[in-house]
Amino acid sequence: MAAELPTTLQYTAEHEWVDDSSPVTVGITSVAAEALGDIVFVELPAVGDTVEAGSVIGEIESTKSVSELFSPVSGTVAEVNQAVVDDPSLVNADPYGAGWLLRVDMTSAGALLTADQYRAMNP
């Protein structure tokens, strides 16, 4: 289990995180980034797309596998991190900072976990 797990964020069982900003910022956890290995491609929804909590919103491809991304919230995509699309290794290097994926004007949240609850699921 990665030592870095910010307690200010909320998490999903599928390894995404979301903050409480407006619009909310979404990314994947360090646990997911480490499990994937070297990330080489990120596919994200477009600005203006509607996303639903728990639904697939894109893919992350690493040298090991391809994984689906799930939205932790419902709402409209307000911004996509073009830097991550251009340089997917940012997700590995800084999953809670420069490696964020998208920002969503949230209408409702899905089933979110605290850092302690997420840590308990991923010992």
Could you report the per-residue pLDDT of 44-82, keeping only the tens digit for each? 999 999 999 999 999 999 999 999 999 999 999 999 999
Q: Can you name the residues that pair with 59 across neighbouring β-strands? A: 43, 68
CATH number of 10-107: 2.40.50.100
Q: How far apart are CA 83 and CA 64, in angstroms?
A: 22
Q: CB 59: neighbour CB atoms within 10 A? A: 13
pTM of the model: 0.95
Domain ranges in the chain are 10-107
Q: Is pLDDT above 70 for 97?
A: yes
CA 122, CA 13: separation in Å to the nearest integer?
9
